[in-house]
A and B are shown apart, each in its own frame.
Chain A
């Protein structure tokens, strides 16, 4: 098993004929993901990826014709919120939005509509997710993974690759790796993903990779303290040296008014009994120390 994506995933890629969309769709297909459709308004009837994937004008049409149940969005920021709404309107249950640079105020009504529809949005500004051996959705390099039983959830992209590579090198495989995105307003939080991992019989341990800004790590830690006793966990928090009041690349990575510091997050995680690594390379050892035997 896994969470969010797996063998049951039937993926439609919104923006499949764009440069990024096409490149990553090919990678997803090569990884074994069931990419069933692409959507580019005005290019319906064509095919993408050397004739391997049919292109539709609308997501609704793609769903009708191919039974797509998951979407991955590579649409530029100006049109990305609309792409999310289109996917949800077409009945897609799980939407990954890779797009970076969407204004925060655009996301407030968008996440609300997603919530009301009972769908799930991951991102925006996220690298996607991989369930090793089953499917990958988004831009995470498939080569870093190894199939296993550790769930990984992170706000970052390349930092996640670093941590996952370290785990794979140490022989620790993953059930699903999820990048939830670096923006202040995102559809799925650490807490949401922890709840999914908790309900997944194949996930035996969890790695959480956070960073400065907001309080999502603290909320996740509080929940974990109560509900994940006995589940081996380890964490890493980026930004211990970040100055106050500066956005560290990610729109959501900012310490403001003295809140959202790495120190606060580390303290909250440790108070919940979760060891926090001082380098991503230490995560495998910390998982072992926390009792992970996989």
Chain B
């Protein structure tokens, strides 16, 4: 689960990391009020940042500076009116604009190949790490945390010297270990501070330079959310397709796509394969949907509702390889769901494995179109979707022709 920058910063702060104060605003007026507070506290200018769960906010114009409260309000109004990569901006983060001396990258990930937490640092801050990895891989310094004992101080020091942060050694070591602590405390699979910056501030004895976390990106391990009830509240429902919440409620794994063939499958690997075969047969999948193991009739019905809620769906392909899942249970669910469904959509069903024969009989009696193999099922579903699209086009043309004649 992705969380917003402001929430990620709260999690870093909770581990004692140096994160400059911020405020979240949902309206231009709120942004102005926040800016006024920062200016009153001595800010030279403020930064206004779109809060959306996609990368590239800066390039999209979602991060701007303002030097007066009025300007902050105007900038916030512009950003709150934008969409970034299709997502409307509903809130902005307001903070004092730091005086940046130099930017760095610091991140912690769970590395699959080494089965370790890997902490990465680079002197090329503010740039996406994937880009650095492609263009200049030797600029990335890496250490692996010990799987039982965690990140050692000396490893963090290696990173600090590697990227030239020797002068800020103690602070850097605290921050690097804090990233790993944040990861463990929240079951995150990614914690990124980009940029981690040397910022210049005016202290009582003149200017001082120190490290500060100016941005934060955290993704949480979905499997661990059950033991962090507080973190579930950070899920940004504004940015979530309502279908996702519905799917989660029914324990269905669902991802909405752009095509016209709805897919209902048991098992993630087989669900991906079914999508791939739809594509191979010349169609486009409308979704990824895994009903999970041991699905009963009610979950099948819920899956059907999810698929049919997408108006682009012209045909449905059901592919079940029964193991724990019983074919006859799925067949009953399909028959029930079809009886109640709001619109008529052609469906091709393939059920093999446990209780496949009972399923076949039920489907035959209910006059379902069936297929023996996965390849055949995909081809039939694509053909059915094409027929629906062709009929719609013909009806549209006829309507236009009638309209023209009248």
Binding site for B on A (CB under 8 A): 20, 23, 77-78, 101-109, 111-113, 127, 139-141, 144, 154-162, 165, 182, 184-185, 209, 211-212, 214-216, 219, 236, 238-243, 246-253, 257-259, 262, 278-281
B109: min CB distance to chain A, Å = 10
**Cβ-defined contact, B267 with A159, below 8 A:** yes
- Nearest-CB residue, chain A, relative to B188: A105
**Cβ-defined contact, A249 with B271, below 8 A:** yes
Q: List 9 A-B contacts (CB under 8 A).
A: A103-B187, A109-B148, A139-B293, A157-B323, A161-B321, A241-B279, A249-B267, A249-B288, A281-B374
**Cβ-defined contact, B374 with A280, below 8 A:** yes
Interface-side segment among B34-42, B221-229, B338-346, B362-370:
B221-229
B329: min CB distance to chain A, Å = 14
In the complex, chain B residues 317-337 whose Cβ is within 8 Å of any chain A Cβ:
321-324
Number of interface residues, chain B, beta carbon within 8 A: 54
Contacts of B279 in A (CB 8 A): 240-241
A194: min CB distance to chain B, Å = 15
**Cβ-defined contact, B267 with A158, below 8 A:** yes
**Cβ-defined contact, A104 with B189, below 8 A:** yes
B191: min CB distance to chain A, Å = 12
CA A35 – CA B322 in complex, angstroms? Answer: 24
**Top 10 nearest A-B pairs by Cβ distance?**
A156-B269, A249-B268, A158-B267, A159-B269, A257-B130, A103-B224, A112-B147, A238-B272, A158-B270, A249-B253
Contacts of B275 in A (CB 8 A): 241-242
From A144, A219, A238, name the one whose CB has the most chain B CB atoms within 10 angstroms: A238
Interface-side segment among B60-68, B110-118, B391-399:
B110-118
Contacts of A155 in B (CB 8 A): 269
B345: min CB distance to chain A, Å = 21
CA A107 – CA B323 in complex, angstroms? Answer: 27
A157-B323, A209-B269, A248-B272 as given contacts; A162 in contact with B374, CB under 8 Å: yes
**Cβ-defined contact, B223 with A104, below 8 A:** yes
A216: min CB distance to chain B, Å = 7
B322: min CB distance to chain A, Å = 8
Binding site for A on B (CB under 8 A): 110, 112-113, 115-117, 128-130, 133, 147-148, 183-184, 187, 189, 221-224, 226-227, 253, 255, 257, 265-273, 275-280, 285, 288, 290, 293, 321-324, 352-354, 373-375
CA A140 – CA B353 in complex, angstroms? Answer: 11
Contacts of A240 in B (CB 8 A): 276, 279
Contacts of B290 in A (CB 8 A): 249
A100: min CB distance to chain B, Å = 8
Contacts of B352 in A (CB 8 A): 165
A253-B272, A279-B375, A281-B373 as given contacts; A258 in contact with B277, CB under 8 Å: no
Contacts of B321 in A (CB 8 A): 158, 161-162, 165
A257: min CB distance to chain B, Å = 4
CA A258 – CA B134 in complex, angstroms? Answer: 11
CA A111 – CA B117 in complex, angstroms? Answer: 13
Contacts of B373 in A (CB 8 A): 281
CA A162 – CA B352 in complex, angstroms? Answer: 9
CA A184 – CA B221 in complex, angstroms? Answer: 11
**Cβ-defined contact, B183 with A105, below 8 A:** yes
Contacts of B226 in A (CB 8 A): 78
**Cβ-defined contact, A211 with B272, below 8 A:** yes
**Cβ-defined contact, A239 with B272, below 8 A:** yes
11 other A-B residue contacts (CB within 8 Å) besides A241-B257, A242-B275: A105-B117, A112-B148, A156-B269, A157-B323, A162-B270, A165-B321, A209-B269, A238-B272, A242-B272, A248-B253, A249-B288
**Cβ-defined contact, B273 with A159, below 8 A:** yes
Contacts of A111 in B (CB 8 A): 115, 147
- The one of A105, A159, A280 that contacts B187, using a Cβ cutoff of 8 Å: A105
- Nearest-CB residue, chain B, relative to A103: B224
- Nearest-CB residue, chain A, relative to B109: A256
- Nearest-CB residue, chain B, relative to A183: B223
Contacts of A211 in B (CB 8 A): 268-269, 272
- The one of A105, A108, A247 that contacts B224, using a Cβ cutoff of 8 Å: A105
**Cβ-defined contact, A161 with B255, below 8 A:** no
CA A87 – CA B221 in complex, angstroms? Answer: 26
Contacts of B276 in A (CB 8 A): 238-241, 262, 278
From A104, A185, A212, name the one whose CB has the most chain B CB atoms within 10 angstroms: A104
**Cβ-defined contact, B273 with A280, below 8 A:** yes
**Cβ-defined contact, A77 with B223, below 8 A:** yes
A77-B223, A101-B223, A249-B290 as given contacts; A238 in contact with B273, CB under 8 Å: yes
A254: min CB distance to chain B, Å = 10
CA A104 – CA B118 in complex, angstroms? Answer: 14
A109-B148, A185-B110, A241-B279 as given contacts; A103 in contact with B271, CB under 8 Å: no
CA A206 – CA B265 in complex, angstroms? Answer: 26
A41: min CB distance to chain B, Å = 21
**Cβ-defined contact, B183 with A158, below 8 A:** no
CA A141 – CA B322 in complex, angstroms? Answer: 9
- Nearest-CB residue, chain A, relative to B269: A156
**Cβ-defined contact, A109 with B221, below 8 A:** no
A273: min CB distance to chain B, Å = 23
